[in-house]
Structure 1
């Protein structure tokens, strides 16, 4: 049974850490933020005034609030040291950031986690975002038959790898990676602060990579950084092909049991549009069937906040039942493949092969 109300402490003060504050305030009946750890007293005092939260300067102080677990949301370069300290103190942790910058760091973290029997999950949110969760449901319902390939143009690095491995059911298969980085000009349209109408043009990289897995499945990875996350003129694209159908972004084509071809559109159901007085995301339908229902249906959360809320909720279930939702092992594999993709980009069109690491043996 999941605990009735989840209490968590937060380590970090960046853009992503703010998600957890908004979620706790939007869903007070589900989540309670007990405190925020910011080492700098001056920065912490300003943060406390801005967000109306309790700020402390040490991990021991943070634990006085008796959280069920801590959320670690700090820069990638310092996350490993933080995690090992948390492991040693036997504190359950939901880690927001990929846990290392080198293969050696990933392996060291795996060994430390095992040594201290760490209770850890990673807040990889995209597979529980509404649209990605709907796509995954279509695949797992078998509408496409055995899936053979995916073209993903929406997510960078380890986020993209996570979706690729889940949608292809690739497990810990090794793969051959090759590709190239390009650069193109694009006009700025918006960023984290909102719309940008200045018409500024900047150079944007575009990474094109092929991942050939040992079991024969193939992923085509395509990402433009930073335009694809923040642009009105660069958007996401996804194609997943199986022996009996395909997903083509919001269109799903498949065969019935009688081999009759069917074409349907994913239909997003939102409240609060066109004179409706509420505002919230309700779910996504394919024909008459819901392929995704928002577990926080009445809360005013965007898609990424819904996904992060889901990670918090599943962390509670993990502590209550021991059931992983996105384990350290999964995160290490996704981060490792992402690092190998970086290696391939540094060696254009040369094949780079992954190998089985200690967490996958």
Structure 2
């Protein structure tokens, strides 16, 4: 029985090799040639990255003076122009500070005039003049500050855009963000609260937020190995699944301070977006391609058309109009994708031969009845399968059949 099993396994193994070998040889390769022409193209060198669209104008605007809100002139969703009034506060204290600062300035000027009139040429007289002159300078600065505070009682838009936040109502008391309490401004001379008001702390959020809709930018990161390749003004192309068309822009700024991730330093690069036809939205993620070198009308052929001669020079197989071929030496330049630049040896329109390797799928032999594969292999004459059939069952060549 053991001998029969061994014979069966031996025969089965021989059959397996015979049966399977044609399948492994089914995939054959065939070399064919095609003719292509040397053509002019544009070659680019790029650095890629990712970034997020943000409006260039994103202004937080708040009062820098203290007072009670008299008017709120805009609402969320309004579009404003640069210099347009957003809100006003009362000027009662501000006007008092300005009047006091003006009086102080007049007094200082009068003391300077008296000191100059009393000048007798002594060092003491000159010292009094210098002191009075310094007091005039201090009073003038306080007056200028009080006058500016009066202007700040009217809050205006610093840039054109869309109002996205209004956190003020008429009657609210604002403490201002421009100064802290103390003796600043005209209040120092009169015991007031300062030209721009008393503020115990800055406001936690802006009273108005203005976002521009006609200027956008993208900030991306460039590795330290690539940042030296780019410069301000380089063209940038940006794509996103959320955008209909490709966005274009230019490098506006290259940061000087790097950040490191996994031991690789990178630098922030700001891209100024060219205003597109479609409406943009804040927060859209884009893929960026910075083009730091672009050459047009570059003569190229497929890289596989160029082979190496025995002496290491480059060559192509040129195809003449009558179909004859000849080996031509060429000089190559840069490679872009599957194309290589030809700097000499060919002209636009010249035909070169390209070898293409293709795979051909072979065909199995015809299968006979009972699983018999057509061919010369047969079981030995007089061979009988063991009682109960071959181990594992299945059909075998030559009509033998195992029982599973």
TM-score range, shorter chain: under 0.3
Is the radius of gyration larger for structure 1 or structure 2? Answer: 2
- If the length of structure 2 is used for normalisation, what is the TM-score? 0.15
- If the length of structure 1 is used for normalisation, what is the TM-score? 0.16
Higher relative contact order (CA closer than 8 Å, sequence separation 6+): 2
